Each structure stands twice: as C-alpha cells, then as structure tokens.
Amino acid sequence: MNTQKPMRIVGRRKKTAVGLEATNGMLKLVIALRGNKPFMPRGVYRFHTHEEADAWNLKMLTRPNRAPQH
C-alpha cells in the first residue's frame, strides 16, 4: 500500500536569454578597478573575535591600490 502523497510543483524557474553575458560589463569593471590585486590576501589568518575578522575583511576589500612602480 502506497501511503506517500504525490509530489506537488510549487513554481518553476525561468531561463534567462542572456545568462553570463549580462554580467560581462560588471566583471570587466571589477577587473579594471582591482587590477592584479586579489580581493583577499592568501593565507591562514586567526582572529580572536568575529568582529575582528569582519573589520579585517572590510579593510582588505577597501584598501587602496598600490602606487604604480616605475
């Protein structure tokens, strides 16, 4: 005896026509602004609190670009 109720579909996803092409301009802007500098320096970092880690993350994301070296 089957006691399970039939599956019910609540909504469906709609495919977009543009996909990643819509974000291409934004990606180019990010690359132009950040240059070859990564968002976060690589490595393992330890913090005493979540607030300290959040402050460091914000500092790393908003740090200015280095001056061009000649």
Query: How does pLDDT run across 3-34, given as a tens digit for each residue?
Result: 788 888 888 877 766 667 778 888 888 788 77
| C-alpha span between 58 and 28 (Å, rounded) | 22
Question: If you write DSSP's letter for every residue of the chain in order, what string do you get?
Answer: ---PPPP-----PPPPSSGGGGGHHHHHHHHHHHTT--SS-SS----SSHHHHHHHHHHHHHPPPPPPP-
Residue ranges per structural domain of the chain: 29-62
Residue-wise pLDDT for 44-66, tens only, equals: 999 999 999 999 989 888 877 65
Task: Judge contact between 24 and 7, C-beta under 8 A.
Answer: no
**What pLDDT was estimated at residue 49?**
96
Q: Which residue has the higher pLDDT, 28 or 37?
A: 28
pLDDT of residue 48: 96
- With bands split at pLDDT 50, 70 and 90, how would you rate the model's confidence at 1? low
